[in-house]
């Protein structure tokens, strides 16, 4: 899992379970005998791209280490409604108690993967990559980034520590693009990429002159992206061009054809439409 060791993943999943279970699953514990066994299927109720089954499996295994799990669909598969994603068998109480946490994560990850695939399909045949952003709920970023990759997209920087991104407020406080680039060149490791968000042609020229590795053209039309991309590529070793800002499925291909090497889409993770997935259980005889 991106950003997690196995131990860290378990710790995070235990936190999620603790939030949901509290001191006890009173309904399940009252109704289901402690020694009861059950089998279940995880079923897609809507068309989706699969992501997150290993995470869901681990949630169940934390409550039942002897759980039997059969994964039916690999990550990145596009499945129709009614597809069986996995079969599981084990302690009935554990399956019921873990169900909501496991499905919440699975539905979110499949939803992100599905949305990402739509954007990737929309720019097919161009050189443009679809990127995620840091617009993720706290605690869920590793899960969201994995889902983006399963959907065929690529990951932007993980956090504030692994790439420089000079944004509008940085420019204001630094006194302009040039001053901001000079400051990060003095501070950041030499191997760290420097990206600069630009909102005017003047910003663009300063970013290119300052040796930015990536220029992020934010909130501009496809025509402007095309013009500014051409300007940026007139120098030796030109920067990569990234576009962002209110790009949707109806416009993403225009931005790709305008010359963007990558397009970052915040709505992949900040406005997730969860896939419809359910767990169907029966007592094991």
How far is 193 from 214, CA to CA, in rounded Å?
8
Q: In whole angstroms, give the CA distance from residue 94 to residue 98.
A: 6
CB 270, CB 277: distance < 8 Å? no
Active site residue 135: yes
Q: Is 218 an active-site residue?
A: yes
Q: Which long-range contacts (CB under 8 A, 24 or more apart) does 29-32 make?
A: 29/93, 32/92, 32/93, 32/96
DSSP letter string, 49-88: E---HHHHHHHHHHH-TT-EEEE-S-TT-EE-TT-EEEEE
Q: Which of 78, 118, 135, 267 is catalytic?
A: 135
Residue tagged active-site, from 2, 218, 227, 267: 218
Name the CATH superfamily housing domain 126-270: Aldolase class I (3.20.20.70)
Decide if 100 is catalytic.
yes
- State the Cα–Cα distance between residues 225 and 210, nearest whole angstrom: 19
User: Which fold is adopted by the domain 6-120+272-283?
Assistant: Aldehyde Oxidoreductase; domain 3 (3.90.1170)
pTM reported for the whole predicted model: 0.96
Where exactly does CATH 3.90.1170.20 map onto the chain?
A: 6-120+272-283
Sequence ranges of the chain with CATH classification 3.20.20.70: 126-270
What distance in Å separates the CA atoms of residue 259 and residue 275, rounded to the nearest whole number? 32
CB atoms within 10 A of CB 147: 33
Q: Is 197 a catalytic residue?
A: yes
pLDDT by position in tens, the chain (length 285): 777 899 999 999 999 999 999 999 999 999 999 999 999 999 999 999 999 999 999 999 999 999 999 999 999 999 999 999 999 999 999 999 999 999 999 999 999 999 999 999 999 999 999 999 999 999 999 999 999 999 999 999 999 999 999 999 999 999 999 999 999 999 999 999 999 999 999 999 999 999 999 999 999 999 999 999 999 999 999 999 999 998 999 999 999 999 999 999 999 999 999 999 999 999 876
Catalytic residue among 72, 118, 167, 185: 167
227: annotated active-site residue: no
């Amino acid at each position: 899992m991106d950003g997690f060791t196995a131990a860290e993943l378990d710790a995070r999943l235990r936190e999620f379970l603790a939030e949901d279970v509290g001191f006890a699953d009173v309904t399940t514990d009252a109704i289901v005998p402690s020694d009861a066994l059950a089998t279940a299927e995880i079923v897609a109720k809507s068309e989706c791209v699969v992501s997150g089954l290993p995470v869901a499996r681990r949630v169940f295994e934390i409550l039942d280490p002897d759980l039997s799990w059969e994964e039916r669909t690999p990550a990145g598969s596009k499945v129709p409604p009614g597809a069986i994603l996995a079969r599981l068998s084990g302690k009935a109480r554990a399956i019921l108690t873990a169900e909501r946490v496991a499905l919440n994560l699975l539905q979110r990850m499949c939803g992100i993967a599905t949305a990402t695939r739509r954007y990737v399909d929309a720019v097919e045949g161009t050189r443009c990559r679809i990127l995620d952003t840091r617009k993720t709920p706290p605690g869920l970023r590793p899960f969201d980034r994995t889902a983006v990759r399963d959907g065929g997209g690529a990951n932007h920087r993980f956090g504030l520590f692994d790439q420089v991104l000079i944004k509008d407020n940085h420019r204001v406080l630094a006194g302009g693009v040039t001053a901001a680039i000079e400051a990060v060149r003095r501070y950041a490791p030499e191997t760290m990429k420097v990206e600069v968000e630009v909102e005017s042609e003047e910003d663009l020229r300063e970013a290119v002159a300052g040796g930015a590795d990536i220029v992020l053209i934010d909130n501009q039309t496809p025509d402007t992206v095309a013009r500014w991309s051409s300007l940026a590529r007139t120098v030796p070793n030109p920067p990569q061009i990234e576009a962002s800002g209110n790009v949707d499925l109806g416009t993403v291909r225009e931005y790709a054809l305008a010359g963007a090497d990558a397009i970052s889409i915040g709505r992949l993770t900040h406005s997730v439409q969860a896939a419809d997935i359910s767990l169907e259980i029966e007592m094991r005889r």
